[in-house]
Amino acid sequence: MSQRKINFNAGPATLPVAVLSQYAEAVMSYGNTGMSILELPHRGKDFLNIIEESKALVRELCGIGNEYEILWLQGGGRMLFSMIPMNFLKAKGAAGYIDSGHWAAEAIEYSEHYGATHILGSSKSSKYNHLPSWPSAIPADLSYMHITTNNTIYGTQYHSMPTANVPLIGDMSSDILSGRRDYSKYAMFYAAAQKNLGTPGVALVGIHKDFLAQEAGHQPPMLSFKAHVKENSILNTANVSGIYCSLLMLRWIKAKGINNIEAENARKATMLYDVIDASPLFTAHVPDPAHRSLMNVCFTAKNAATEQALLDICNTNNITGIQGHRAVGGFRVSLYNSVTEADTALLAQLMRELETKS
């Protein structure tokens, strides 16, 4: 087996070794079923138990109750970009979106296929290097307002969320369960799993029953939240092993505790932002600390030689996944829950060493 890398990729992201080894065991043999998790029937009681435990854990960790339906869907984040306007953008109504980054803009594009889509704030003109200010007035007749709580590519994050006077939908793909949040502010929240919650192709949805009741239109069942709720996320052949991996992640998060995870995430991000801010070699993409993401630390090097030097030193130290998204360039270090403090400290130290060498 090749040596395991220190992996700062934005997603698919690194997973805890403890989760990987439990998953590996289940690939060979799941419980006492005499089968691999990859072979487990999606309509059997073993998978139903996985669904029920995972739903209970999501509610517990998010601090919400049965007023929210919990779904595991396929198609990742983009499927939800489509399903949200399809089901909730009312025929003569409009939806509001905050354009805070690449994924927010893509969600807007998807919504425009279905109906009137208003941009309630945007930071596009400054390369999304800050969060747009909260709209001073949100039209009360909007079907919903959509927000991206953490902007994976540009490295901004809402650290507190004002209350909206219309149903609020949060794309939490890159910061779900990364700290304490008031999930009850959301009519619906969702997350592609491949960052804090498991593997690609699985998406978690929490949807308030009152909002679900507003689902309109006549979508085919696969594209209807109500249909997925009715079938308890087993409408078709479910992604059994992917959802099991998410369950293992939820158990791991519970064992660590959200408060500890939040504190650890803050310490990791501080390690890197401190080095960047003190260094003449690097510049943070997001100047205002209040807008900076604790999950994705984005920065550029002052020149091409420094950029190459950091890539080289990371390569020598078995570190991967620090290159920025092609839209921004430079570097992006993703510090999701599974990234350890020790690995983050190593990267911070290497960045400091570059300075003394230069």
Q: What is the DSSP letter of 160?
A: S
Per CB under 6 A, the list member of 152, 246, 265, 279 interacting with ligand PMP is 152
How far from chain centre, in Å, is Cα 313?
A: 29
Nearer to ligand PMP, 98 or 301 (CB): 98
The stretch among 1-9, 37-45, 72-80, 281-289 that binds ligand PMP (CB under 6 A) is: 72-80
How far from chain centre, in Å, is Cα 279?
A: 29
173 contributes a contact to ligand PMP by CB under 6 A: yes
Least CB distance from residue 189 to ligand PMP, whole Å?
Answer: 12
148 contributes a contact to ligand PMP by CB under 6 A: yes
Across-strand partners of 210? none
The residue whose two tokens read 């829950």 is 337
The stretch among 171-179, 248-256, 331-339, 348-356 that binds ligand PMP (CB under 6 A) is: 171-179
- H or E element in which residue 283 lies: strand 282-284
Per CB under 6 A, the list member of 103, 186, 211, 331 interacting with ligand PMP is 103
For helices 240-256 and 17-28, the axis angle rounded to 10 degrees is 140
76 contributes a contact to ligand PMP by CB under 6 A: yes
Residue 321 phi/psi, 5° resolution? Answer: 85, 25
Give the residue among 179, 170, 121 at the shortest CA–CA distance from 148: 170
Nearer to ligand PMP, 143 or 293 (CB): 293
77 contributes a contact to ligand PMP by CB under 6 A: yes
| SS3 of residue 138 by DSSP | coil
111 contributes a contact to ligand PMP by CB under 6 A: no
Residue numbers 267-286 binding ligand PMP by CB under 6 A = none
Q: Rounded CA gap, 347 and 217, in Å?
A: 50
Per CB under 6 A, the list member of 69, 99, 171, 264 interacting with ligand PMP is 171
Give the residue among 263, 271, 266 at the shortest CA–CA distance from 346: 271
Per CB under 6 A, the list member of 74, 87, 156, 174 interacting with ligand PMP is 174
239 contributes a contact to ligand PMP by CB under 6 A: no
Q: Rounded CA gap, 90 and 119, in Å?
A: 17
**What residues line the site for ligand PMP (CB under 6 A)?**
11, 76-78, 103, 148, 152, 171, 173-174, 192
